[in-house]
């Protein structure tokens, strides 16, 4: 039978590529992978309450979702973010390239800084949001919920830049909560006190380097740590040991999700549909339609989706708006329909909870303009609360409010407080 | 002498679906089938003791659930079971699998290309968008664009609205998609040969086109728009083989009072004063009916069963030119044990799914070159599966039925008819390919049924052996299927209707042509259609 003869790679190259492929075959036996931290998380996962985060076995909750939430707000919580998609973007053209594909001005992102950003397709619809870490003048890490390699590679044509997906190679941890700084200091990360919000720095760990940034998804004092996968366990142990006296606890996603909602942060494909996943054309969203208009920098040069976004702005073609809501009462309005004057459907709640920190019933909702934009009065949500096999239908008043729903001074205090 | 309310020529699945709906509307319906069994291309036969083959069609996805429900097919034994995604074996000793789990699927593709692994979401989004456009059209009669009847205008408007619901860009994409080649379409998403070959196979199955021929992207869609219980794009096995579909239909038909005569070949349709009056069987027996509905393909119906002088010139010419080129064959094999594929781990789910050996588009296209030259492919494309890994009813425990769909096989060899020697050579090309990946394969074979277009045409009556009763190209779809002006199941002869896969929305075990034809007939008779469920919502 004929052999593949298209281009003739060197025999040894072929062999190693084939060997790597063959070695990876058995993945079908493990439909949910463990992360590099899995041995530790499994040991703490008393509830065995897992979900799939991008194909990884991730905990909804480890022992008690309420108490896990309070660990974030009162002590320090350790949350495994390894399944997050990570791209290493490197080269002399990396800055210009990223400036071209993302919304914010990357030329103003200094080495040693992180910014939250988003990126759009050519029609101005949001592909994803995420964080961009500038590790050096020519080296970046882009973290996101969804995967974008084809788009990133195709956009790189003409730029001196290399792009590599490094999700599996790099393990990540979020350490969030009032005692997080003290724990890092006690763990021996000297100089970590100098990190201001959105700063990052590299520290020695176990013969390798850990990148620590003062970032997070909780609206609290907190840090994120990235480390080569083979140093993951020693990093975990180092933090747990240092944190023992400061109440450190590992947590699952349910607790984190509450904290992020209080912080007013949105989640791709929960609060909006990313454009590569939107099958129905009317689900596509521009940055201004999901509360990310502030990321769009009109001063900077061309970027993906620019023309469409500005055209939509000038021609008033923006059809949706994402808002924070404060809802009367204390029953969470998860996925409730939003009404104008109790009768006209104008939108949907995508996330909702009673906020222990704000002592308010809060929600994030997407509304059809002008509701939520110029018309913000007389909005209502219809809550279907299932109680013992009966829906208690409640029509509750909703008020459009600013996000974040809570603002904690300790998040930004510099130097960070030593609780 | 008795005149039936309706006579259906052919007991293929569409003929039976049609007959069921008419019978349930209160008509007295007779189905005449030339073979001694019903089913047409959806049949299961025991050709060697203990083994049941799906002789032609072998997997089920397109069959409309609305029809299964209306005709109570589960009550009459129909069960469709989903199976795992399949694999393409590569020549370097590896394979590329399609796993049902989204992340396992991505990880599998990443073994070959991280980039292509991450391209799958966009690909599947775009194909799904196209599916959602076509799905609502399946269970509706195509509009006649030249007619000003309110219903046609309504349907045109519906079609227009479906189009208008698209953005200008999507509209352009849809038109492009319907006419482009599967190879060009895949090039927009993927870079890796084997990954492209993996998706391209749905674009060529059953068609006399290669992956680089325009129109093959639509053929892919035709294989994606089905479902198994709401899981769109999924394929399943009918428990008991594809014959289970027509067995259930026949039982449902009989239970509602219908009559089936097998071993009754129609020689021609009786036409008097431009109206069909019944049929004349091969032996000369005349059977009268107020309506005649043909399940046979449009060529067989109008070039063999109706006299030329009854038909308008332009219609005849278009029927003669209707593209219905045979391109495939089938090899059904009884095995005394499960074959081994050393490249595949023993616990791989791929054993319970479809397997392929063509790992590049280039190879597919070369296989098509043989077809153009009037030969069967020396290096054929196989869609191979072993249904008995999931269906215990088709072979004794530990033994297996293997179904191999084979491309390409031309309707004629070098312009002459197939001979038995050709058939054996064709079979050998298939067995050799399997044996190259499965040592000892030949020794496991207990029995084999080899079907070239010759056998398929002779037995099922599919002209040239074309599995869809006519090519699924844009010029032969929607209001142009089978030919312009006759897309609404009626014909130039009064009282003579068509209900086979030659009509909208086309081939595959779908049932929609049979059902839609019944709706038109009942409309002509001013009978209610309340026993016919409307198409499921696409939301
Ligand atoms: C090898 C092969 C594999 C396939 N694989 C699949 C698959 O896996 N999945 C899928 O969905 N589709 C598949 N198809 C396609 C699908 O099977 C057909 O498109 C479909 O079954 C056609 O159904 P039909 O009722 O329209 O016509 P047919 O099944 O062709 O029925 C026509 C009937 O009319 C009878 N007939 C013809 N002439 C006369 C006459 N003069 N007098 C009396 N009776 C007559 C025939 O005997 C036959 O029973 C396959 C087809 C083939 C051939």
Structure tokens at B467: 């599995």
* A119-174 pLDDT, tens digit each: 999 999 999 999 999 999 999 999 999 999 999 999 999 999 999 999 999 999 99
pLDDT at B153: 82
A270: left (phi over 0), alpha (psi -120 to 50) or beta: alpha
B371-380: b or e for each residue (b if 16 or more CB lie within 10 Å)? beeebbbebb
- Residue B345 CB-density burial (10 A; 0-12 exposed, 13-18 middle, 19+ buried): middle
Residue (of B170, B361, B192) closest to A150 by Cα position: B192
Report the CATH number that the domain containing residue B33 is assigned in CATH: 3.50.50.60
State the Cα–Cα distance between residues B189 and B13, nearest whole angstrom. 37
Same domain, B173 and B254: no
Pocket test for ligand 1, best of B54, B467, B496, B518 (most atoms within 8 A of CB): B467
Q: What is the mean pLDDT of chain A?
A: 96
Structure tokens at A326: 């404060």
**Per the domain annotation, does B334 fall within a domain?**
yes
Which of A18, A26, A153 is nearest residue B92 as measured by Cβ atoms? A18
Same domain, B337 and B318: no
State the Cα–Cα distance between residues B523 and B22, nearest whole angstrom. 11
Task: Quote ipTM for the complex.
Answer: 0.93
Last residue of a domain, one of B424, B451, B478: B451
Tokens 């205090």 sit on residue: A413
Q: Where are the beta strands (DSSP E) in A260-407?
A: 320-327, 337-340, 344-355, 360-368, 379-387, 390-401
Which helix (H) or strand (E) segment is B69 a member of? helix B65-70
Which helix (H) or strand (E) segment is B237 a member of? strand B236-238
Reduced to 3 states (helix: H, G, I; strand: E, B; else coil), residue B18 is helix
Count chain A–chain B contacts defined by CB atoms under 8 A: 88
Interacting residues of B117 by C-beta distance below 8 A, sequence separation 6+: A149, B106, B107, B108, B109, B110
Q: B32 CB under 6 A from ligand 1?
A: yes
Cα distances (Å, whole numbers) of residue B372 to A67, B210, B406, B414, B452:
71, 10, 16, 10, 16
pLDDT at A2: 39
Question: Which ligand 1 atom lies nearest to the CA of residue B55?
Answer: 1
State the Cα–Cα distance between residues A152 and A14, nearest whole angstrom. 26
CA-closest residue to ligand 1 atom 34: B10
Q: Residue B12: beta bridge partners?
A: B39
B447-476: b or e for each residue (b if 16 or more CB lie within 10 Å)? bbbbbbbbbbbebbbbbbbbbbbbbbbeeb
CB B232 within 8 A of CB B128: yes
State the Cα–Cα distance between residues A12 and A17, nearest whole angstrom. 9
Q: Residue A344: beta bridge partners?
A: A340
Helices and strands of chain A, counted as H and E runs: 10, 19
**Per the domain annotation, does B335 fall within a domain?**
yes
**Per the domain annotation, does B278 fall within a domain?**
yes
Structure tokens at B355: 């397997």
State the Cα–Cα distance between residues A340 and A317, nearest whole angstrom. 21
- Residue A193 CB-density burial (10 A; 0-12 exposed, 13-18 middle, 19+ buried): middle
State the Cα–Cα distance between residues B256 and B529, nearest whole angstrom. 16
**Per the domain annotation, does B210 fall within a domain?**
yes
Same domain, B128 and B220: yes
Enter the pTM of the model. 0.95
State the Cα–Cα distance between residues B291 and A119, nearest whole angstrom. 62
Reduced to 3 states (helix: H, G, I; strand: E, B; else coil), residue B88 is strand
Residues in chain A with CB shorter than 8 Å from the CB of B360 are: 4
**Inter-chain CB proximity A277 and B125 less than 8 Å:** yes
Same domain, B339 and B373: yes
C-beta neighbour count of B189 within 10 angstroms: 20
pLDDT at B512: 97
State the Cα–Cα distance between residues A288 and A198, nearest whole angstrom. 23
Same domain, B146 and B193: yes
Which residues of A make CB contacts under 8 Å with B?
Answer: 1-4, 6, 14, 18, 20-22, 24-29, 31-32, 52, 54-55, 123, 146-150, 153, 165, 276-279, 281
B13-24 and B512-524 helices, crossing angle to 10°: 40
Last residue of a domain, one of B451, B478, B504: B451
State the Cα–Cα distance between residues A76 and A70, nearest whole angstrom. 9
**Inter-chain CB proximity B94 and A22 less than 8 Å:** yes
State the Cα–Cα distance between residues B235 and B80, nearest whole angstrom. 9
Which CATH number is A85-165's, of 3.40.50.2300, 3.30.70.1400, 3.90.1150.10, 1.10.3720.10? 3.30.70.1400
Q: B329 CB under 6 A from ligand 1?
A: no
State the Cα–Cα distance between residues A224 and A210, nearest whole angstrom. 10
CB A206 within 8 A of CB A235: yes
Last residue of a domain, one of B234, B259, B284: B234
pLDDT at B157: 79
What is the DSSP track for A385-407?
A: EEETTEEEEEEEEEEEEPSPS--
State the Cα–Cα distance between residues B205 and B214, nearest whole angstrom. 14
pLDDT at A1: 37
State the Cα–Cα distance between residues B81 and B53, nearest whole angstrom. 17
* B66-115 pLDDT, tens digit each: 999 999 999 999 999 999 889 999 999 999 999 999 999 999 999 999 99
Interacting residues of B252 by C-beta distance below 8 A, sequence separation 6+: B20, B71, B72, B73, B75, B76
How many domains is chain B partitioned into structurally? 3
Interacting residues of B375 by C-beta distance below 8 A, sequence separation 6+: B410, B413, B414
Q: What angle do CA A52, A56, A58 make, to 5 degrees?
A: 65
**Inter-chain CB proximity A55 and B106 less than 8 Å:** yes
CB B509 within 8 A of CB B73: no
pLDDT at B467: 97
* B422-444 pLDDT, tens digit each: 999 999 999 999 999 999 999 99
* B219-270 pLDDT, tens digit each: 999 999 888 888 888 899 999 999 999 999 999 999 999 999 999 999 999 9
pLDDT at A162: 98
**Per the domain annotation, does B91 fall within a domain?**
no
**Per the domain annotation, does B536 fall within a domain?**
no
pLDDT at A6: 44
pLDDT at B84: 87
CB B20 within 8 A of CB B8: no
A201-217: b or e for each residue (b if 16 or more CB lie within 10 Å)? bebebbeeebbbbbbbb
Residues A281-401: name the CATH superfamily.
Answer: Aminomethyltransferase beta-barrel domains (2.40.30.110)
Q: Residue A142: beta bridge partners?
A: A87, A132
Interacting residues of B160 by C-beta distance below 8 A, sequence separation 6+: none
- Domain ranges (residues) in chain A: 85-165, 281-401
The range of the structural domain enclosing residue B258 comes to: 3-42+60-81+240-322+470-524
Q: Are A85-165 and A281-401 the same fold in CATH?
A: no
Which residues of B make CB contacts under 8 Å with A?
Answer: 91-94, 97, 99, 101-104, 106-108, 110-112, 114-119, 121-122, 125, 128-129, 132, 166-167, 169-170, 189, 193, 345, 347-349, 359-360, 362, 379, 436
**Per the domain annotation, does B89 fall within a domain?**
no
**Per the domain annotation, does B185 fall within a domain?**
yes
Cis peptide before B19, with omega less than 30 degrees from 0? no
Q: How far apart are the first and last CA of chain A?
A: 71
Ligand 1 centre to CA of B247 (Å) is 14
Residue (of A144, A148, A132) closest to A85 by Cα position: A144
Per-residue pLDDT of chain A (419 residues; tens, 9 = 90+): 333 344 556 777 778 999 999 999 999 999 999 999 999 999 999 999 999 999 999 999 999 999 999 999 999 999 999 999 999 999 999 999 999 999 999 999 999 999 999 999 999 999 999 999 999 999 999 999 999 999 999 999 999 999 999 999 999 999 999 999 999 999 999 999 999 999 999 999 999 999 999 999 999 999 999 999 999 999 999 999 999 999 999 999 999 999 999 999 999 999 999 999 999 989 999 999 999 999 999 999 999 999 999 999 999 999 999 999 999 999 999 999 999 999 999 999 999 999 999 999 999 999 999 999 999 999 999 999 999 999 999 999 999 999 999 999 999 999 999 87
Per-residue pLDDT of chain B (539 residues; tens, 9 = 90+): 789 999 999 999 999 999 999 999 999 999 999 999 999 999 999 999 999 999 999 999 999 999 999 999 999 999 999 998 899 999 999 999 999 999 999 999 999 999 999 999 999 999 998 898 888 889 999 888 888 788 888 887 788 777 767 777 778 888 899 899 999 999 999 999 999 999 999 999 999 999 999 999 999 999 998 888 888 888 999 999 999 999 999 999 999 999 999 999 999 999 999 999 999 999 999 999 999 999 999 999 999 999 999 999 999 999 999 999 999 999 999 999 999 999 999 999 999 999 999 999 999 999 999 999 999 999 999 999 999 999 999 999 999 999 999 999 999 999 999 999 999 999 999 999 999 999 999 999 999 999 999 999 999 999 999 999 999 998 999 999 999 999 999 999 999 999 999 999 999 999 999 999 999 999 999 999 999 999 998 88
């Amino acid at each position: 039978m004929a052999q593949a003869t298209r281009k003739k790679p060197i025999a040894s190259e072929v062999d190693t590529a084939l060997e790597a492929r063959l070695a990876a075959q058995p993945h079908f036996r493990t439909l949910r992978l463990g992360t590099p931290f899995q041995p530790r998380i499994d040991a703490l996962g008393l509830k065995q309450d897992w979900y799939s985060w991008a194909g990884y076995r991730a905990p909804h909750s480890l022992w008690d979702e309420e108490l896990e939430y309070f660990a974030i707000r009162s002590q320090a919580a350790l949350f495994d973010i390894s399944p997050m998609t990570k791209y290493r973007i490197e080269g002399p053209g990396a800055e210009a390239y990223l400036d071209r594909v993302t919304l914010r001005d990357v030329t103003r992102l200094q080495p040693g800084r992180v910014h939250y950003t988003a990126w759009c397709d050519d029609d101005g619809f949001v592909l994803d949001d995420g964080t961009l870490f500038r590790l050096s003048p020519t080296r970046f890490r882009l973290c996101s919920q969804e995967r974008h390699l084809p788009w990133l590679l195709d956009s790189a044509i003409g730029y001196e830049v290399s792009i590599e997906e490094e999700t599996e190679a790099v393990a990540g941890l979020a350490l969030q909560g009032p005692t997080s700084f003290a724990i890092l200091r006690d763990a021996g990360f000297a100089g970590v006190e100098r990190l201001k919000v959105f700063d990052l720095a590299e520290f020695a760990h176990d013969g390798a380097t850990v990148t620590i940034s003062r970032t997070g998804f909780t609206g609290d004092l907190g840090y994120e740590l990235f480390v080569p996968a083979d140093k993951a366990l020693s990093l975990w142990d180092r933090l747990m040991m240092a944190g023992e006296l400061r109440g450190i606890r590992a947590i699952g996603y349910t607790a984190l999700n509450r904290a992020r909602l209080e912080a007013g942060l949105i989640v791709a494909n929960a609060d909006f549909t990313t454009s590569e996943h939107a099958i129905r054309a009317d689900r596509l969203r521009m940055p201004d339609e999901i509360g990310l208009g502030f990321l769009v920098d009109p001063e900077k040069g061309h970027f993906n989706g620019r023309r469409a976004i500005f055209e939509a702005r000038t021609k008033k073609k923006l059809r949706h708006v994402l808002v924070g809501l404060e809802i009367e009462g204390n029953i969470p309005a998860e996925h409730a329909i939003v009404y104008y004057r109790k009768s006209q459907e104008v939108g949907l709640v995508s996330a909702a909870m009673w906020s222990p920190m704000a002592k308010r019933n809060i929600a994030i909702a997407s509304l059809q303009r002008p509701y939520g934009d110029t018309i913000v009065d007389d909005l209502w949500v219809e809550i279907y609360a299932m109680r013992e096999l009966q829906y208690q239908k409640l029509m509750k008043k909703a008020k459009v409010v600013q996000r974040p729903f809570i603002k904690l001074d300790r998040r930004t205090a510099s130097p960070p407080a030593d609780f | 002498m008795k005149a039936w309310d309706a006579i259906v020529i052919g007991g293929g699945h569409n003929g039976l679906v049609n007959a069921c709906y008419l019978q349930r509307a209160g008509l007295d319906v007779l189905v005449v089938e030339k073979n001694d069994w019903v089913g047409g291309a959806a049949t299961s036969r025991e050709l060697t003791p203990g083994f049941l083959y799906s002789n032609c069609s072998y997997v089920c996805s397109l069959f409309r659930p609305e029809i299964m429900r209306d005709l109570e097919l589960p009550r009459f034994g129909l069960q469709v079971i989903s199976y795992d995604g399949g694999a393409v074996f590569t020549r370097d000793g590896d394979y590329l699998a399609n796993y049902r789990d989204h992340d396992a699927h991505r990880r599998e593709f990443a073994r070959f290309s991280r980039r292509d692994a991450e391209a799958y979401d966009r690909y599947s989004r775009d194909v799904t968008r196209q599916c959602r456009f076509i799905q609502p059209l399946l269970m509706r009669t195509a509009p006649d664009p030249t007619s000003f009847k309110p219903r046609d205008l309504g349907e045109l408007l519906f079609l227009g609205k479906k189009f208008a619901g698209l953005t200008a860009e999507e509209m352009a994409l849809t038109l492009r998609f319907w006419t482009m080649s599967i190879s060009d379409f895949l090039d927009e998403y993927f870079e890796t040969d084997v990954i492209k070959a993996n998706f391209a196979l749905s674009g060529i199955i059953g068609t006399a086109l290669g992956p680089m021929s325009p129109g093959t992207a639509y053929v892919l869609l035709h294989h994606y728009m089905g479902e198994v219980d709401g899981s769109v794009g999924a394929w399943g096995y009918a428990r008991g083989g594809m014959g289970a579909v027509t067995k259930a239909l026949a039982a449902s038909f009989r239970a509602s009072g219908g009559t089936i005569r097998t071993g009754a070949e129609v020689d021609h349709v009786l036409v008097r004063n431009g109206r069909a009056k019944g049929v004349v069987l091969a032996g000369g027996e005349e059977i009268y009916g107020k309506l005649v509905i043909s399940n046979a393909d449009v060529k067989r119906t109008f070039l063999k069963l109706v006299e030329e002088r009854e038909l308008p010139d332009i219609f005849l010419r278009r029927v003669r030119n209707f593209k219905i080129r045979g391109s495939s064959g089938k090899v059904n094999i009884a095995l005394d044990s499960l074959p081994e594929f050393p490249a595949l781990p023993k616990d791989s789910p791929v054993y319970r799914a479809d397997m392929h050996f063509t790992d590049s588009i280039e190879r597919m296209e070369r296989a098509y070159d043989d077809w153009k030259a009037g030969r069967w492919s020396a290096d054929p494309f196989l869609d191979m599966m072993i249904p008995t890994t999931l269906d215990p009813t088709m072979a004794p425990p530990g033994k297996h039925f293997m179904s191999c769909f084979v491309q390409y096989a031309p309707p004629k060899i070098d312009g002459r008819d197939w001979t038995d020697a050709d058939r054996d050579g064709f079979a050998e090309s298939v067995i050799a390919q399997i044996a190259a990946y499965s040592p000892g394969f030949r020794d496991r074979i207990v029995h084999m049924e080899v079907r070239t277009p010759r056998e398929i045409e002779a037995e099922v009556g599919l002209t040239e052996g074309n599995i869809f009763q006519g090519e699924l190209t844009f010029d032969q779809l929607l209001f142009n299927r089978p030919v312009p002006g006759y897309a609404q199941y009626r014909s130039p002869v009064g009282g003579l209707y068509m209900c086979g896969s030659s009509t909208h929305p086309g081939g595959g075990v779908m049932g929609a042509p049979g059902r839609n034809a019944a709706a038109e007939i009942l409309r002509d008779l001013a009978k209610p259609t309340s026993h016919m469920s409307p198409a499921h919502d696409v939301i």
